[in-house]
Structure 1
């Protein structure tokens, strides 16, 4: 029974889910995306496998640390399953590197809520956001989450509000000095150069259908489910995460990557709450298998359109 398998925190079940995530990644990279099997691609795949382990471990730790579930693997299961809908993310490791940083940002922000003086935490979070933006520029939007946290926490708000700006200026100067020595200044400026564009017709592409479905789910269900289940702070934080993701999806060209970065965690939480809210075991089991089969069918049938 799938539900019984996920209704535990056993390490063996966790690593089995992780193994399925690794298998999914390998199949996507070499069968679906048809990447060449070269030493570089193999090394990048190994790096992505390591990042996936860090990501899944971080999600599991966030869930346990903040008691977001009743000791199960449902959130991790839904997070991995939702990743199936975005095969283009597996082309390279950049978005996954950014996602690793953003998950650590989420962990730090949620922990800083209970700290009286969060200056050190705000500094660490700013460094993580800067690193994430080097890999994937829309990660900069996580600064909005940090500033919301600063404004709603104790301490000297104006001083703390300046911490991310000081950190970014300091790190950029260090990076610029290194780039000038190596002759990479053009690459550095191009990394941070972007002109926001908005084209409503871009959403009509088939590859964005899963993203629009997840977006609609978040708009209609996530806010209600989070407010119903969690404390006010957790609900506000995850709703803010979704709203920041919407801004990124509207402004950035690689919409699926932005959606995966900001939507999958709150969507997985909401899906877990829906399943846990059902009282009939057969209905839980049926919905879980329906979700799995729907994901597989969407990938197999929609393969030409998702890429």
Structure 2
């Protein structure tokens, strides 16, 4: 029943998911609030909520525009469920902003397959990733994606491989100009000097560990069908799916290397899982299994955050 309802892409689906996301965003940000309310505080939170919902719409745009999925709402449902399971994500403004920009970059990289405005898209994608790294430095690892995109779609001009470097330099020069005007100092390169923290202390906490186990089990199921789809599909689509898989792997790398682990860094692999999981939920002949999986996820979201947060 759940799979059947979200199997179609209707405005009511987006409305339900948006309301759901709003409720959990409010729980994450206002439950046990330790600071006084103010108009500035509320305006800031409203802005982050808007950004959170906007990420959902961009995610949906990517899977629909590039025909990763059919006309359904599975991607936005999965994104809403997994981010609601891990409430620390909804409190991490810098990671939400970085996630927004890397998703914009992924959209540009996948669209290289059209063969149109290649250089502009490479520059834009690299620029968005550079901007994301200003908010969350480890996002810079996503610069691997434009180079892989060039390898797949734009190797005919070797100069294309130089464009990401130009975009990063332009970003740095613009930010440094702003810093000089406002603070009279150069933007410090030490911002990108990250000392990884390989400890997993936070992942032993129940409010992160249990959602992580649930997410991992779903990811393993989804990976099986996703990799099978990669193997059986046409070359053009295979390249696109590989970019999503690579996005997922880079997201995992960022989780491992994150210097201040809170659980919020899991947003990056979740973005990829939300797209990869669609392939599983579109499989034919698995109706009962899909219903059980979705029902389990929804039940977990309705119980776990309120029990453990």
Give the shorter-chain TM-score range.
0.7 to 0.9
| Matching of residue 286 in structure 1 with residue 292 in structure 2 | yes
Aligned to 1:171: 171
Tell me, what secondary structure is at the counterpart of 2:31? helix
| Matching of residue 238 in structure 1 with residue 239 in structure 2 | no
Deviations 1:118-161 (A, max 9, x none): 11101111111122112221221110111111222224554212
Aligned to 2:267: 260
- Distance (whole Å) between structure 2 residues aligned to residue 275 and residue 25 of structure 1: 26
User: 1:98-117 counterparts in 2 under 5 A?
Assistant: 98-115=98-115
Deviations 1:46-102 (A, max 9, x none): 112221232122111112111122211111101110001322223353222211111
Q: 1:184 to 1:294 in 2, by over 3 A?
A: farther
Q: 1:203 to 1:119 in 2, by over 3 A?
A: same
Q: TM-score, normalised by structure 2?
A: 0.86
Q: CA RMSD in A?
A: 2.6
Q: 1:30 to 1:117 in 2, by over 3 A?
A: closer
Post-superposition shift, 1:190?
Answer: 7.0
Tell me, what secondary structure is at the counterpart of 1:185? coil
| Matching of residue 205 in structure 1 with residue 211 in structure 2 | no
Q: TM-score, normalised by structure 1?
A: 0.86
User: 1:20-35 counterparts in 2 under 5 A?
Assistant: 20-31=20-31
Which ranges in structure 2 are unaligned for 5 or more consecutive residues? 231-236
| Matching of residue 13 in structure 1 with residue 4 in structure 2 | no
Q: Is the 8 A contact 1:150 1:157 kept in 2?
A: no
- Distance (whole Å) between structure 2 residues aligned to residue 184 and residue 11 of structure 1: 49
Count of residue correspondences = 300
Aligned to 2:194: 195
Deviations 1:277-304 (A, max 9, x none): 363645433332221112333212322x
